[in-house]
């Protein structure tokens, strides 16, 4: 057993308190006369190696300890406390109760035993490549469900996919998807973009992503480069001087899925909407995911069209628009060149305006007088920023004091007495009907009339093990369980710090995956009591439709749903 009698020793023990440990640490201080109110030897013997025990002199060592630890977490003057192994992760004084002289040694022993953390041996992550069939699409990255060949339900997750890919766009109910299965999570992989099957003269589908009056941008795959199509590749007859008054924006809309014909150009593959009829060989659109369906489907657009546009694309020009006799090649080429020259001049005019604006901005920025003005403004803004930061620190400190006073006031406020409306289980035909009555009564008593519409009880079901877990903890905990259930069903638990609401994980680590079910439900855990040995917790499920399922009342070391 160690004894701390110097500031250096206090520094060593403080560093141990503020790092991740495998066991609790009990620290006992001496009083001003050097005597101990707690028997350190007896406490160490009772803990039998499950926790470390150390003593410290009151004076310079405890002063040094106070400087090194967060506020209100040190010991002095004969007091003692037990620090949990993970105290560094959340170094709040409420997690380490201060025991004053006059308390029993058993209080410290119970504190330390309640802080013991059983760290499970984490098995290596095993994953396998599987094929599944999509059952349910949520329209977002979460809540997409599929089943394997053996019928097992799995959740499709977007882990490892590029940010530019929306997993909901890559899936189709009833279609197959392949990926890595880890537990119940199926993580698909992106299919590499391969344009080799798109040979000249074949037809496929493309998505319109940008449209102007003179050109449009299309893509064959979210990860593939975009193709810029000029008017001649969108509007029929432009090369022959026809349909000159038809704009590209009259034919295409952003989000449309359109048929395109593959051509060849200097860059390799090119696209055109001209002569992309059904008589040409059709190449299935590229899939987004390995083993998944094609990204694009004919007639399925990214957004709804404001008005039909297909007719404009498929219209055969009226004979009156075309010249009766084909124009001479030189005349046709001249018309095309004139149209292209007008486009280029329009672009150059815009570029010249941009260069002129940029030149004015550069000259203004290099003017010495302007630079002096900017320096003065910078100095003034720096001073204002310093004053604002000082005021923010003062306001933050005041807010912290007010929050602490509010917490102290809540702790001192007596809970409403609900015993007058309690009924026995035997007064009801079933135990579940009794529980529902008690939950409704607790909600009615704990919720003000003005808040009942704002915080109603959500729809819920009683899980198969919930009533048995209530019987196991005994009637003494019924009141606490009912209050916790009401806070969960009214969605108030997140606003009450003492509830310590968080999603349940599959292990003790902060990076362990969350607990979910095959139907998309997530498991939540809240505290029914704190700073108490063997504190109770409430586990419940929140399902995708908003309904809750009460799962179990458990001890704080029980992390099963």
> What are the tens digits of pLDDT across the range 46-100?
888 889 999 999 999 999 999 999 999 999 999 999 999 999 999 998 899 999 9
User: Which pLDDT score is estimated for 339?
Assistant: 56
Instruction: Give CA–CA dist 425/486, Å, rounded.
Output: 19
Measuring CA to CA, which residue among 138, 133, 173 is closest to residue 545? 138
Dihedral, CA of residue 313, residue 319, residue 324 and residue 327, to nearest 10? -10
* Whole-number percent of the chain with pLDDT over 90: 37
Residue 546 dihedral angles phi and psi, to the nearest 5°: 100, -5
Instruction: Indicate whether 327 pLDDT > 90.
Output: no
DSSP 509: S
Q: pLDDT averaged over the chain?
A: 81
Claim: this prediction has a pTM higher than 0.75: no
Name the residue with tokens 């008054």.
Answer: 245
**Sheet containing strand 522-527, strands side by side:** 460-462, 548-555, 536-542, 522-527, 502-503
Instruction: Indicate whether 409 pLDDT > 70.
Output: no
Instruction: Indicate whether 352 pLDDT > 70.
Output: no
Instruction: Indicate whether 497 pLDDT > 90.
Output: no
Q: What is the mean pLDDT of residues 24-49?
A: 91
Q: What is the mean pLDDT of residues 389-413?
A: 68
Instruction: Indicate whether 335 pLDDT > 90.
Output: no
Cα-to-chain-centroid distance, residue 354: 41
């Amino acid at each position: 057993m160690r004894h701390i009698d110097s500031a250096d020793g206090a520094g060593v023990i403080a560093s141990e308190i503020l790092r991740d440990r495998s066991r609790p640490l009990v620290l006992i201080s001496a009083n001003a006369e050097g005597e101990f109110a707690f028997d350190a030897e007896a406490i160490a013997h009772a803990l039998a190696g499950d926790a470390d025990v150390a003593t410290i002199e009151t004076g310079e060592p405890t002063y040094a300890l106070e400087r090194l630890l967060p506020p209100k977490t040190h010991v002095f003057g004969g007091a003692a406390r037990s620090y949990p192994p993970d105290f560094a992760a959340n170094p709040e004084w409420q997690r380490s109760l201060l025991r004053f002289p006059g308390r029993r040694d058993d209080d410290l022993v119970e504190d330390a035993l309640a802080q013991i953390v059983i760290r499970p041996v984490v098995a290596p992550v095993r994953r396998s490549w599987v094929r599944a069939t999509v059952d349910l699409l949520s329209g977002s990255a979460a809540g997409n469900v599929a089943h394997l060949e053996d019928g097992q339900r799995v959740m499709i997750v977007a882990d490892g996919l590029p940010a530019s890919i929306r997993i909901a766009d890559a899936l189709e109910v009833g279609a197959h998807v392949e990926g890595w299965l880890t537990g119940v999570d199926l993580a698909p992989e992106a299919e590499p973009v391969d344009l080799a099957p798109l040979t000249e003269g074949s037809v496929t589908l493309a998505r319109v992503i940008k449209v102007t009056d003179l050109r449009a941008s299309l893509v064959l795959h979210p990860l593939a480069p975009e193709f810029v199509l000029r008017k001649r590749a969108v509007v029929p007859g432009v090369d022959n001087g026809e349909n000159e008054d038809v704009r590209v924006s009259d034919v295409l809309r952003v989000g449309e899925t359109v048929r395109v014909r593959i051509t060849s150009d200097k860059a390799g593959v090119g696209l055109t909407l001209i002569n992309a009829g059904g008589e040409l060989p059709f190449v299935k659109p590229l899939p987004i995911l390995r083993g998944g369906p094609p990204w694009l489907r004919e007639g399925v657009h990214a957004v709804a069209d404001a008005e039909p546009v297909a007719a404009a694309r498929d219209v055969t020009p009226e004979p009156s628009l075309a010249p009766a006799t084909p124009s001479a090649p030189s005349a046709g080429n001249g018309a095309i060149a004139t149209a292209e020259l007008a486009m280029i001049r329009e672009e150059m005019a815009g570029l010249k305006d941009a260069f002129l604006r940029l030149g004015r901005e550069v000259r203004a920025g290099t003017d010495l007088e302007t630079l002096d003005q900017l320096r003065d403004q910078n100095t003034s803004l720096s001073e204002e920023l310093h004053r604002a930061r000082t005021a923010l620190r003062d306001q933050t400190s005041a807010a912290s004091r007010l929050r602490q006073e509010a917490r102290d006031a809540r702790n001192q406020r007596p809970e409403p007495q609900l015993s007058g409306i309690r009924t026995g289980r035997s007064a009801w035909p079933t135990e579940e009907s009794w529980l529902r009555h008690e939950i409704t009564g607790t909600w009615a008593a704990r919720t003000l009339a003005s808040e009942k519409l704002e915080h109603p009880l959500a729809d819920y079901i009683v899980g198969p093990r919930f009533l048995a877990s209530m019987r196991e903890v005994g009637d003494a905990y019924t009141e606490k369980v009912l209050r916790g259930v009401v806070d969960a069903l009214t969605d108030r638990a997140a606003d009450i710090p003492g509830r310590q609401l968080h999603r349940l994980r599959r292990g003790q680590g902060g990076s362990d995956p969350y607990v979910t079910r095959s139907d998309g439900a997530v498991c939540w855990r809240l505290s029914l009591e704190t700073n108490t040995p063997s504190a109770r917790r409430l586990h419940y499920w929140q399902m995708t439709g908003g309904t809750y399922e009460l799962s179990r009342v458990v001890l704080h070391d029980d992390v099963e749903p």
